[in-house]
Amino acid sequence: MACRIVVLLSGRGSNLDAILQQVHQPTDVPARVVGVISNRPAAAGLERAAAAGVPAECVDHRAHPDRPTFERQLAATIDRLQPDLLVLAGFMRILTPTFVTRYSPALLNIHPSLLPDFRGLDTHARALAAGHAVHGTSVHVVVPELDAGPVIAQAQVPVLEEDDPERLAARVQRAEHLLYPQVLRWYAAGRLQLRPDSVRLDGALLPPRGHRFRLSATETGLED
């Protein structure tokens, strides 16, 4: 049976697009995106989902009086879709420990830095300010502590002399659009064992920063 994936997002949805093209649509990948949920009604990702024929709905956080009420509605919407895996792709609400522990460790996020470097926001500006020569993105298991769960895989990108945060962000996103689908294909193939404190790939414990890739020079693929 195909792995049932539900994607949560808040905005553009370029990672959703990559997942739809590289995981959902190929018939040889045993996974399907069975629903996309946004907390913002105007999220472009909702249209991307609908265009691909995937059920898309909004649970607007502003329509709920507090975070627990919002999360109860969100969880009810998710559970109707009966996911095997919940995927955060640019979901910009902090989730409470109650919500996280309900789904973790089958709850993944993509974060635009080489964790544990630069948890939180403004990662590209912070990588530039720190003078890092290498930056990148991480896919990790979500745990109650923000951006602190075990890392499954990272993709490194070079930081170039002429970079500003926007240029660097665009290069990191090109890596994200390859990395997230790769991790989801591993999961769908039964190759990942997720736990709140560790991850195994093909039975072998992954190191703290996960499996390491780098973006190829042509930026069209990942290399070990």
User: Known catalytic residues?
Assistant: 111
**Exposed/middle/buried for residue 85 (C-beta within 10 Å: 0-12, 13-18, 19+):** buried
Minimum distance from CB of 203 to ligand GRF (Å)? 28
Minimum distance from CB of 40 to ligand GRF (Å)? 11
| Between 30 and 165, CB nearer to ligand GRF | 165
Q: Which one-letter amino acid corresponds to residue 143?
A: V
The DSSP bridge pattern shows strands 56-58 and 192-194 to be unpaired
| Between 66 and 166, CB nearer to ligand GRF | 166
Minimum distance from CB of 61 to ligand GRF (Å)? 17
Q: Which residue has the tokens 């930081």?
A: 159
Q: State yes or no: cis peptide before 165, omega within 30 of 0.
A: no
Minimum distance from CB of 154 to ligand GRF (Å)? 12
Q: CA 80, CA 24: separation in Å to the nearest integer?
A: 19
Q: CA 9, CA 87: separation in Å to the nearest integer?
A: 9
Minimum distance from CB of 187 to ligand GRF (Å)? 18
Q: Indicate the residue whose CB is closest to ligand GRF.
A: 90
Paired residues of 140 in beta bridges: 109, 151
Tokens of 148: 């602190």
Q: CA 184, CA 218: separation in Å to the nearest integer?
A: 23
Give the residue from 88, 22, 100, 9 showing the smallest Cα distance to 56.
9
Please report, as ranges, the residues that interact with ligand GRF according to CB under 6 A. 9, 11-15, 89-90, 110-112, 137, 173, 176
CA distances from 122 to 159, 167, 218 (A): 15, 13, 26
| Between 21 and 69, CB nearer to ligand GRF | 21
CB 104 within 8 A of CB 112: no
| Between 1 and 74, CB nearer to ligand GRF | 74
| Between 83 and 109, CB nearer to ligand GRF | 109
